[in-house]
Amino acid sequence: MQTVTVYSTKNCPYCRMAKAFLDRQGVSYTSIDVGEDEAEARKMIALSGQRGVPVITVDDEVIVGFDSQRLNELFGKTGAGTRCDVLIAGAGPAGLTAAVYCARKLLKTVVVSENIGGQALQSWAIENYMGFRLITGEDLMKSFEEQARSQDIRLEIDGIAAIARTENGFLVTTESGLSFTATCVILALGKRPRKLDVLGEERFIGRGISICSTCDGPLFKGKRVAVVGGGNSALQTAIEMSGIASSVSLITRKGIRADETYQKTLAQKANITVHENTKVTGLKGDTFLTGAIITDKEGREQTIDLDGIFVEIGWIPNTEFLGDFLELNDLKEIIVDQDCHTSMPGIFAAGDVTSVKGKQIIIAAGHGAQAALEAYECVMRAKSEGKQE
């Protein structure tokens, strides 16, 4: 029997998903909270060379992050291709809402996603989602997930590798080799964090640079950190990290653009230093990050000592695999009409991956419902015309 250990933190959604995957596959494992146990945190860092979670060890193999492809290779169950009415790519607010609406219409529904919750998972606190005065992104998406799992929905933790048109619908293949044929497809793939684009950045990912503050924040207790960005997410992260780290440097290229409520809270934090009209131009360190070079708009350089940098400078649509299969805008977002139709009949899109201007959880969820209703009509037409296999 394999010996499996999951190193995690309490508020890390990707840690929770890794454990949920292992639970579903019947894999026994030991769970260690490195946010609470500093000795185990040091052990994890020594094993993996990472100051980021989750880290999973399988015997002598070390898996960094929630690597759904590798976990599927080790523990997943393969099978023949599956036919469904609707395949939904993505399990954030748009994808999970679409799944619930499809299931309630009694459509055979499959959801394929690398994670459950999408971008919403990385929100420390959400104060503008109706029904909740204040809720974390993780807790909100737990509620979404619980409702989705109460329906007859197949959920695969996997990535989409390719999609192709067939005579009676679409063929979707996943990164782990699963295949699905579907009458209609809903793309709710969301976005991924934008990187700093600084020389040496890749070397320090997980070794001081983090794109998930809710996951890795506890590992920087009492340390010096920076947050890069000037929007709501950046200020929210800086405010939360001010209660964990010894000092926080907020570095923003174009000034602060966040809502006034965040700016007022920021002004009350004595251990946050703001560097406006400034960008990160260099990184320092050997195995781990030890500092950064920042340059202001006048070209003046300054070196600041740091143990960690949290990057909050925007998002990139997860549309690379589509190529020219669908029409995209200049931002590589999927162009949709008012009813979530894409340029390909039978394929719908919803959420932040689309050209819709508003990028909010409540808007994504609404469009997920709308896409599902359009997909239902699509499936019903196909059945009436005898086009389903």
Q: Over pLDDT 90: what percentage of the chain?
A: 77
List the CATH number of the domain containing 234. 3.50.50.60
* Predicted structure pTM score: 0.81
One domain, residues 71 and 167: no
One domain, residues 320 and 188: yes
CB atoms within 10 A of CB 284: 16
Q: Rounded to 5 degrees, what angle do the CA atoms 99, 102, 104 make?
A: 110
Mean pLDDT computed over 144-150: 95
Q: At 148, is the pLDDT very low, low, confident or very high (cuts 50, 70, 90)?
A: very high
Q: pLDDT tens digits for 353-362?
A: 999 998 999 9
Give yes or no for residue 63 having a pLDDT over 80.
yes
Active-site choice (102, 212, 340, 378): 212
Domain boundary among 311, 341, 372: 311
One domain, residues 205 and 347: no
One domain, residues 135 and 220: no
One domain, residues 146 and 59: no
Is 197 catalytic? The answer is: no
Give yes or no for residue 79 having a pLDDT over 60.
no
Q: Domain count of the chain? A: 3
| Residue type for position 265 | T
One domain, residues 245 and 293: yes
Give yes or no for residue 84 having a pLDDT over 70.
yes
pLDDT (0 to 100) of residue 125: 82
Active-site choice (15, 102, 184, 215): 215
340 SS3 class: coil
One domain, residues 88 and 62: no
Domain boundary among 311, 329, 354: 311
Domain boundary among 75, 110, 136: 75
Closest CA relative to residue 27, chosen from 4, 45, 11, 53: 4
Is 378 catalytic? The answer is: no
One domain, residues 177 and 108: yes
What is the span of the domain harbouring residue 146?
A: 82-192+315-384
Q: pLDDT tens digits for 27-47?
A: 999 999 999 999 999 999 999
Q: At 60, is the pLDDT very low, low, confident or very high (cuts 50, 70, 90)?
A: very high
Active-site choice (15, 84, 184, 216): 216
Q: Which residues contact 26 (CB under 8 A, 6 or more apart)?
A: none
Q: Per the domain annotation, does 217 fall within a domain?
A: yes
Give yes or no for residue 13 having a pLDDT over 80.
no
- Give, to the nearest 10 degrees, the angle between helix 137-149 and helix 93-104: 20
Give yes or no for residue 64 having a pLDDT over 70.
yes
Give yes or no for residue 388 having a pLDDT over 70.
no
Mean pLDDT computed over 100-110: 97
Q: Per the domain annotation, does 389 fall within a domain?
A: no
Find out whether 90 and 190 touch, Cβ atoms under 8 Å: yes
Give yes or no for residue 131 having a pLDDT over 90.
yes
Phi, psi dihedral angles at 320 (to 5 degrees): -55, -40
143 SS3 class: helix
One domain, residues 226 and 300: yes
Using the CB atoms, write b or e for 346-369: b if 16+ within 10 Å.
bbbbbbbbbbbeeeebebbbbbbb
